[in-house]
Amino acid sequence: MNEIGLIGLAVMGQNLALNIARKGYSVSVFNRTPEKAQEFMQNKVKDEQIKPYYDIKSFVESLKRPRKIILMVKAGKPVDDVIQELLPYLDKGDLIIDGGNSYFKDTSRRIKELEEKGILYLGMGVSGGEAGALHGPSLMPGGTQDAYEMVKDVLLKIAAQTEAGPCCTYVGNDSAGHFVKMVHNGIEYAIMQAIAEVYDVLRKVLKLSPEEIGEIFEKWNNGELNSFLMEISYKIMKYKDKETGKYLVDLILDEAEQKGTGKWTSQTSLDLGIPTPSLNLAVEARSLSFFKEERVQLAKRVTKIYPEIDIDKEKIIKDLENALLFSVFASFSQGLWVISEASKVFEYNIDLSEVLRIWKGGCIIRAKILDFLRDIIKENKENVNLLNSEKALSFLMDKIDSIKYITNLAKDFYLPTLVLNSSLDYFLSMIEENLPANLIQAQRDFFGAHTYRRIDKEGIFHTEWEAE
Ligand SMILES: NC(=O)c1ccc[n+]([C@@H]2O[C@H](COP(=O)([O-])OP(=O)(O)OC[C@H]3O[C@@H](n4cnc5c(N)ncnc54)[C@H](OP(=O)(O)O)[C@@H]3O)[C@@H](O)[C@H]2O)c1
C-alpha cells in the first residue's frame, strides 16, 4: 500500500511525484491519458517508489487509509470531474489536496460539498514551476487544521528549505491557501511587468543590447533587487538562439498570455474595495500587448518626435533600479493589503508574516525584499497597509525622485510604463491629504442626487445644483 496518491501527470504533477518519492514516501500515480503515465514511468522514474495505476478504482485501493490524494490537474471543471470520479471509492476521513491554481471560491465550495460527505479537503497553492515542484516548491495549504495535520510532515519535507524554515505553513481556514496563491500570482504579474518596463527604457532610451541589459540585471540581482525574477531576467537577456545566433528575447513575439490568476486578483481586490493599481495595470498591460496588429498599424500613423536630450547613462541606470524597487515594494504592499482584508472578510485567520516567510524559497516571487517586508509587519502585526510604517515611507521617499524621473523620461520617449506609473500614483494617492474626490462627489450629487458629506459640518447633504 502506498502513502500518497497523485493525479495529473503534466509537468507539475510529474515533478511533485518525484519530489515526494525522493523524500522517502511511496506514491501511486494516475493520469487521465494513460500513455502519459507510461511515458513518465519509462523516462523519468528510476529508483523512486512510484507506481502507476490505469483505473481510478485500483489507484484508490492502492493507498493506505486514511487516503491522501493530491490533484495536479488543470484548474476549473477538471478538478470537479476528478473529484466525482474519486468519490465512489473514497471513505470518510480520506483527504483530497488540490495543488492546482484553482479559483478560491471553487475551493470554498468543494470544501463544503466534501465536508458533507465526510471527506477532508485542502486547497493548496504550489509555486515554483517545474523546478520548484521537483526540488522544493513554496506550498500554501488552506482548509481545516485537521486536514493539514494529516499531511503536514510530507509537505514540510517536500517544500523548499530556507534559513527561515520550510516554505510551507498552514495558511488558514477554508480557501485561504488558494487565495494567497492567487494574490501571489497577482504580485508576480506586477513585478514581471515592472521589470519589462525597465527593460524597455534600457533598450529604447539607452539603446543597450540584451547582453548589456543582462549585465545590469545581473548586477542588480546581487543587490537589493535580488530575486528569482531578476535572476531569470538576466539569464534570458544573455541567452542566444541556437538556430540564428541572435538574442532569443529579440525574436519572441510581444504578446503576453495569461491563465487568469492575475485577473482574479484584480477582480477580487475590486470586490473587496482594496486598491491594487499596480497589480491591475499588469493585467491590462498583458491585454494591451495582445493587440499587436492594431499597434503595428497605429504606430505607422503617428509621428513621434523624440527629445534631443543629453543622456546620463549612469544616472538613468541608478534611477531605473530605484524605480523598480519602488514598484516591487508597492506591488507587495498592495497584495498584502488584499490578503489581510480577505483574511478578515472570509475569516481565514492568515498570519501575513508567515505568508512572507513561505515565499522566501521555492516560489516565483522569492526576493530579498521579503525580509524587509517581514520586518515592517513584525513592528506591528495589525499593520495591514505597509505604508503606515516609517521604514516603508522612508524607503519609498528615498526613491520617489527616481521613479518620477523615469516615468517622465519614458513618456518623453512615448514608452508606456503602466506598472511603474500606477505604483507611483498609488503612493501619491496614499500620501495626499486632499484628493479631488470632492468634485466626484459633487458630480454624483448633481446628476444622481447621490448626496455628499461636508468637511465643515456633520450630516448627509444634497444640493439642487441648477436650481440654485
Ligand atoms: N505549470 C506551472 O508552472 C504551474 C505552477 C503552479 C501551479 N500550476 C497549476 O498546477 C496545475 C497543473 O499544472 P500543469 O501545468 O502541470 O498542467 P495543466 O496543463 O494545467 O493540466 C494538465 C493535467 O490536467 C489533466 N486534466 C485536464 N483535464 C482533465 C480532466 N477533465 N480530467 C482529468 N484530468 C484532466 C491532464 O490530463 P491529460 O494528460 O489526460 O490531458 C494533465 O494531467 C494547474 O492547476 C496549474 O495552474 C502550474
Written as tens digits, the pLDDT of the chain (468 aa) is 999 999 999 999 999 999 999 999 999 999 999 999 999 999 999 999 999 999 999 999 999 999 999 999 999 999 999 999 999 999 999 999 999 999 999 999 999 999 999 999 999 999 999 999 999 999 999 999 999 999 999 999 999 999 999 999 999 999 999 999 999 999 999 999 999 999 999 999 999 999 999 999 999 999 999 999 999 999 999 999 999 999 999 999 999 999 999 999 999 999 999 999 999 999 999 999 999 999 999 999 999 999 998 999 999 999 999 999 999 999 999 999 999 999 999 999 999 999 999 999 999 999 999 999 999 999 887 778 999 999 999 999 999 999 999 999 999 999 999 999 999 999 999 999 999 999 999 999 999 999 999 999 999 999 999 975
239 with 348, same domain: the answer is yes
Ligand 1 pocket test, candidate residues 31, 70, 72, most atoms within 8 A of CB: 72
> Total domain count for the chain?
3
Residue 151 maps to a domain = yes
Residue 179 maps to a domain = no
- Domain containing 136 — which CATH number? 3.40.50.720
Residue listed under C-alpha cell 516603508: 392
450 with 426, same domain: the answer is no
Residue 192 maps to a domain = no
370 with 313, same domain: the answer is yes
In this structure, are residues 444 and 450 in contact, taking their beta carbons and an 8 Å threshold? yes
Ligand 1 binding pocket includes 126 (Cβ within 6 Å): yes
391 with 438, same domain: the answer is no
Last residue of a domain, one of 154, 170, 186: 170
Residue 441 maps to a domain = yes
Residue 190 maps to a domain = no
Q: 126 forms bridges with which residues in the sheet?
A: 139
pLDDT of 468 = 57
Cα three-residue angle 22-23-27, rounded to 5 degrees: 70
- Is position 10 annotated in a ligand binding site? yes
- Is position 444 annotated in a ligand binding site? yes
- Domain containing 446 — which CATH number? 1.20.5.320
Ligand 1 binding pocket includes 33 (Cβ within 6 Å): yes
261 with 232, same domain: the answer is yes
448 with 403, same domain: the answer is no
188 is catalytic: yes
In this structure, are residues 393 and 386 in contact, taking their beta carbons and an 8 Å threshold? no
Residue 191 maps to a domain = no
- Domain containing 208 — which CATH number? 1.10.1040.10
Ligand 1 mean position to 159 CA, how many Å? 20
Closest residue to atom 29 of ligand 1, CA basis: 78
In this structure, are residues 336 and 392 in contact, taking their beta carbons and an 8 Å threshold? no
Range of the domain at 404: 200-430
Closest residue to atom 28 of ligand 1, CA basis: 78
- Is position 268 annotated in a ligand binding site? no
Ligand 1 mean position to 75 CA, how many Å? 7
Ligand 1 binding pocket includes 392 (Cβ within 6 Å): no
122 with 226, same domain: the answer is no
pLDDT of 293 = 98
110 with 153, same domain: the answer is yes
Q: 71 forms bridges with which residues in the sheet?
A: 7, 98
Measure the CA dihedral 212/215/217/218, to 10°: 170
Residue 186 maps to a domain = no
- Is position 301 annotated in a ligand binding site? no
Ligand 1 mean position to 73 CA, how many Å? 4
415 with 450, same domain: the answer is no
SS (H, E, C) 320-340: HHHHHHHHHHHHHHHHHHHHH
224 is catalytic: no
Catalytic residue among 3, 48, 68, 188: 188
